[in-house]
Amino acid sequence: MLLSCYRKLISYIRNKEIARKYSVISAVLEKPNGWVKNLRKQKDLIFADVSDGSCAQKLQIVIPKNLASDSLTYGSSVSITGKLSKSPRGQLELVAEDVKVLGTCVVLDGYPFNPRTTHPPEYTRQYLHLRSRTNYTSAILRIRSAVTKHIYDYFALNSYTNIHSPVLTSNDCEGAGEVFKVQPDSEATIKAMMQENKDKDSVYFGSKTFLTVSGQLHLEAVCRGMGNVYTLGPTFRAENSRSRLHLSEFYMLEAELAFCETLSHLQGAIEDLLKYVFIETRNTNEADLFLVDKHNKAPSWVDKEFVTLTYDEARQILGKKGSALTDEGINKEQELTLVEYCNGSPVFIVKWPRDMKSFYMKECSEDNTKVEALDLLTPITGEVVGGSLREDSYEKLKSKLPSDRLNWYLELRKFGNIPTGGYGLGLERLLQVLCNVSNIKDTLPFPRWPHNCDM
């Protein structure tokens, strides 16, 4: 446990555990380990900014020249002993008494990063194994960690049960066909398990098996035994898309609400979650957010009310702007136009044409050509959340069921059924919105997209 900065100490003082932690932090600050992020040499002194990677702030180390060796360079790892004091500007600094270089870093030997340089994301993305050493990537990853924690806290405070929905599944929930299939790599395993009438795709599990595209159907099963549930985990699409908004592997938060009878109930839950996560992240990661979005371009809609438009209203608004909707729904450009129309507020589009949406969505009682579905649109990314009320009529669901393989899903409606609704939120897109990140590949440590899975 290493804490290299004053701000972190301040944040701990707000914490109830401070009594125990305070002495630990002082000890750590007087003997920090970390990496040299910057060096400034004066006549008799060297000033080194050292970071342990746990927060955006660095600790300034004042090093008498006789204590420094040539291997004390930008990028090297160091272990330092000294005394804490205040700099002339009143900031905490450490006057070194001993400086040990643990790992050298010779830029000329192939280290791809340079001091006092902001490398563009396209460049650092070529060095996934090293890019968490840059200020920008480490700030994003700290924000991602904090957002994840705040999501867990939110659902715990609101009495949801966390369900680890499976990655491996024999369902293809969305029916889109853009799935990865899975089989053992070992020919020996396949041979040993081979049975009559089976092909290689189904020999291990007994049926063809895919990587999940959504945990919704599994959540719906558990929701009918345990009430409100959620899952946050990896999800997959085998699309041949290299856009700034798509990944082959991404994290999705999905929640299913028990006894949920109206879209407005669902919308309230989504708005409540997003505002909680935004406010908490600003509290815990202010310096990181400043580092990744210096001009504060990320939308500050925490205090605004989210807007609601029906699909038909959205169509009219776009029509007046000369942008007609097709059977494919609302495209990315149109999504961003609608957000702009709402002055940059997030906007729910509700009550979608039935034929555009999935079989499990509940028909609107007032118009059975529409379903009780919603998309939430935001600046930067457009859609970040999709959700719906679920069809709770056994007979109606039976008539729309796309495959006998989903008979288990139908059976959920047969015994002690309840009305439910739920939503899915793309974690990476949320981070794009929160941090003003143009390309989704910079919101996670090891992005996977077509032709890119090198580590």
Site for its own copies in 60-99 (CB under 8 A): 75-77, 79
Token duo for residue 377: 């649109």
**Amino acid, res. 44:** D
Task: Compute the least distance from the CB of residue 51 to its own copies, in Å.
Answer: 9
For residue 44, what are the contacts with CB-CB under 8 A and spacing of at least 6?
64, 65
For the segment 111-130, give every residue that binds its own copies (CB under 8 A).
111, 128-130
Residues of span 170-189 touching its own copies by CB under 8 A: 170-171, 177-186, 189
**Residues 121-145, buried b or exposed e (16+ Cβ, 10 A)?**
beebbebbeebbbbbbbbbbbbbbe
Residue 108 C-beta: closest distance to its own copies, Å: 11
CB closer to its own copies out of 221 and 349: 221
Q: Which is nearer to its own copies, 302 or 453 (CB)?
A: 453
Q: Which helix (H) or strand (E) holds 143?
A: helix 135-157
Strand spans (E) along 379-419: 382-389
Euclidean distance between CA atoms 218 and 173, whole angstroms: 10
- Phi-psi domain of 378 (left: phi exceeds 0; alpha: psi -120 through 50; beta: other): beta
Binding flag, residue 152, its own copies (CB under 8 A): yes
**If binding is defined by CB under 8 A, does position 290 make contact with its own copies?**
no
Residue (of 153, 178, 150) closest to 277 by Cα position: 150
165 is a contact residue toward its own copies (CB under 8 A): yes
Residue from 207, 300, 368, 399 that binds its own copies (CB under 8 A)? 207
Could you give the CA distance from residue 400 to residue 96 in angstroms, rounded to a whole number?
A: 72
User: Of residues 33-52, which lie at the interface with its own copies (CB under 8 A)?
Assistant: 33-36, 52
Among 48, 50, 119, 144, binds its own copies (CB under 8 A): 144
Q: Which is nearer to its own copies, 47 or 180 (CB)?
A: 180
Which residues ranging from 355 to 384 are in contact with its own copies (CB under 8 A)?
none
Please, which residue, 54 or 308, has the CB nearer to its own copies?
Answer: 54
Q: Please report whether residue 233 would count as binding its own copies according to CB under 8 A.
A: yes
**Total binding residues for its own copies by CB under 8 A?**
117
- The answer to whether the beta carbons of residues 45 and 65 sit under 8 Å apart is yes
